[in-house]
Structure 1
Amino acid sequence: MTEGKRVYRSSLRAEQARRTRAAVLDGATRCFLAKGYAATTMKDVATEAGVSVQTVFGQGSKASLLLACVDRAVVGDDEEVPFAQRELFVRLVAETDLAAKLAAVREMARVYVPLTVPMIRVFAEAATVDAEIAAAWTEYERRRFEDDRVLIGSFEPWFREGLDADRATEIFWGIFSHAPAVTLIWERRWTVEEYVDFVVDAVARLLLD
C-alpha cells in the first residue's frame, strides 16, 4: 500500500469517527433535553442517533456523553477552544468604550443564552443524582466564576464607588446564570431579548457609575 493510500484511509476513518461521535452527541442532546438525564437510556440515545447501542457505549458512559453535550452547548461547536478565548468574549474584554462594552454584553447574552441554558439546566439537575456529574458541575461553576472575573474586571474603571472586583463578579455571576434565565424565560415566559435587557440593565445599575 502506498503512503498516499494510507493517509487517505486514515483521514477517511477519522472523518467517519467524527461523524459518528457528532451523531451520538446530537442524539444524546435531544434525549437529555426532552427527557432529562435520569430518564434517558443509552438505548434512547442509540435510537435517536440512528446507531447501535454498542456504538453509543463506544463514545463513553452516559455521564461522559452529558458532559460532552454540555461542552458543545457552552462553546457552540466541537472545537477545543475555551469560552474565555472565544471571539465575543475576547472582544468584550478588550473593548475600551463603555457603551460598546455593554453592547457586547448584550450580544454575548443574546447568542449564548438560548444555546446554553437548556443544556445547563439538565446539567444542574443531573448533578443532584450523579457524583461524577456533581464534581464536573463544581468545576464548571468554578471556571464560570473565573471567566466572569475576567469579564467584569474589564469594567473596573467604571465601577460605582466602593465596589470591588470580587463583589462585582459575584453580582454578575448570580445574575447571568442558568437559574434566573430558566425562571424568567422558561417559567415566566420572558423572551430572550427581555432577559438580555434585564442582564445589561442590571450590570449598568448595580455595578457602574
Structure 2
Amino acid sequence: MTVSKAGRQYRSSLRQEQARRTRATILDAAARLFVERGYGATTMKDIAAAAAVSVESVYAQGGKPTLLLACVDRAIVGDDEEQPLLDREPLQTLLAAEDPEQWLRSLRDLTATGAQDSVAIFDAFHGAAAMDPKLAEQWQIYSDRRYADCVRMIASLGPHLRPGLSVQTATDVFWALVSPGVMLGLCRERGWTSEQYADWLADSVRRLLLS
C-alpha cells in the first residue's frame, strides 16, 4: 500500500509537533532545576528524570551549557527561536512609539510580563558563568548584545531626551537600570513583584532621561 503525499506530510507534522513538545518539556525541567539546585549541581540525568524522558532525549537537545542558554532565551523572549529580541512584536511596538509616554507604556508592559520569569534563570546563568569558561564567554556575548539592544531602544527616543544628555550617556544609564543585578536585587532580595519593578523602571526612565 502506498502512502499518499498528504499522509506523509501529516506524519511529518505530527513528528515535528511531538519533537517540539518534548523539547519544551525538557527545557521547562532544566530551567526549574537550574534555578532550584544551581547549574553545577544539576546533571543531565536529573533533567531527564524531571522531564520523564530518556537521557538520550536530553542530550539530543545539546549539552548542559546549550540547555542553559536556551532556557535564558526562553525567559527573555518566551521561546528559543533564532529571531532577535528587537525584531519581535513587543520591541517593534516600543521602537515605533510616536511619543515618549507610549514608549514608556510599552517598556512597562514588556517588563511586567518578562521580569519574573527571567530573574531566577539570570541568577543561575550568572552563577554558571563563574564556574564554566565557555558560559563566561556566552555571558559576555549576552552582555554585549544587551548593550547594543539598549542603544537602539534609547536612540528611538531621539529628541525626547533631556537637553544636553547624549544618547551614549542615556544608554549607559538605561543599561544600568535594566541590568540583571538590579533586577535580581529588587525582585529576589527585596521581594519586589514584576509589576513593581516595571513601574519603577518606567518612572526612573521618565525622571532620569526624558525632558
Q: TM-score, length-normalised on structure 1?
A: 0.93
Consecutive unaligned residues of structure 2, counting only runs of 5 or more, are none
Partners of 2:34 and 2:153 lie apart in 1 by 30
Are the aligned partners of 2:128 and 2:135 in contact in 1 as well (CA < 8 Å)? Answer: yes
Aligned counterpart, 2:201: 199
Is 1:97 the counterpart of 2:112? The answer is no
Q: Give the CA deviation at 1:4.
A: 3.2
Are the aligned partners of 1:76 and 1:115 in contact in 2 as well (CA < 8 Å)? Answer: no
Q: Give the CA deviation at 1:5.
A: 3.2
Partners of 1:199 and 1:126 lie apart in 2 by 27
Q: Give the CA deviation at 1:26.
A: 1.2
Aligned counterpart, 1:39: 41
**Map of 1:58-97 to 2, 5 A cutoff?**
58-97=60-99
Using CA pairs below 8 Å that are at least 6 residues apart, which structure has the higher relative contact order?
Answer: 2
Residue 12 (structure 1) aligned to one of 11, 14, 18: 14
Per the alignment, do residues 71 and 191 of structure 1 end up closer, same or farther by CA in structure 2, a change over 3 Å counting? closer
Aligned counterpart, 1:185: 187
Letter in 2 for 1:108: L
* Residue range with higher mean Cα deviation, 59-68 or 196-205: 196-205
* Residue range with higher mean Cα deviation, 163-172 or 50-59: 50-59
Is 1:112 the counterpart of 2:132? The answer is no
Letter in 1 for 2:20: R
* Residue range with higher mean Cα deviation, 189-198 or 124-133: 189-198
- Detail structure 1 runs of 4+ shifted over 6 Å in the superposition: none
Aligned counterpart, 1:163: 165
Partners of 1:192 and 1:6 lie apart in 2 by 46
RMSD: 1.5
**Map of 1:136-175 to 2, 5 A cutoff?**
136-175=138-177
**Map of 1:117-136 to 2, 5 A cutoff?**
117-136=119-138
Partners of 1:78 and 1:129 lie apart in 2 by 24
Partners of 2:97 and 2:130 lie apart in 1 by 39
Letter in 2 for 1:9: R
Partners of 1:77 and 1:60 lie apart in 2 by 16
Consecutive unaligned residues of structure 1, counting only runs of 5 or more, are none
Are the aligned partners of 1:88 and 1:108 in contact in 2 as well (CA < 8 Å)? Answer: yes
SS of match in other structure, 1:77: coil
Are the aligned partners of 1:73 and 1:115 in contact in 2 as well (CA < 8 Å)? Answer: yes
Are the aligned partners of 2:186 and 2:192 in contact in 1 as well (CA < 8 Å)? Answer: yes
Aligned length: 209
Q: TM-score, length-normalised on structure 2?
A: 0.93
Per the alignment, do residues 138 and 12 of structure 1 end up closer, same or farther by CA in structure 2, a change over 3 Å counting? same
Partners of 2:98 and 2:179 lie apart in 1 by 25
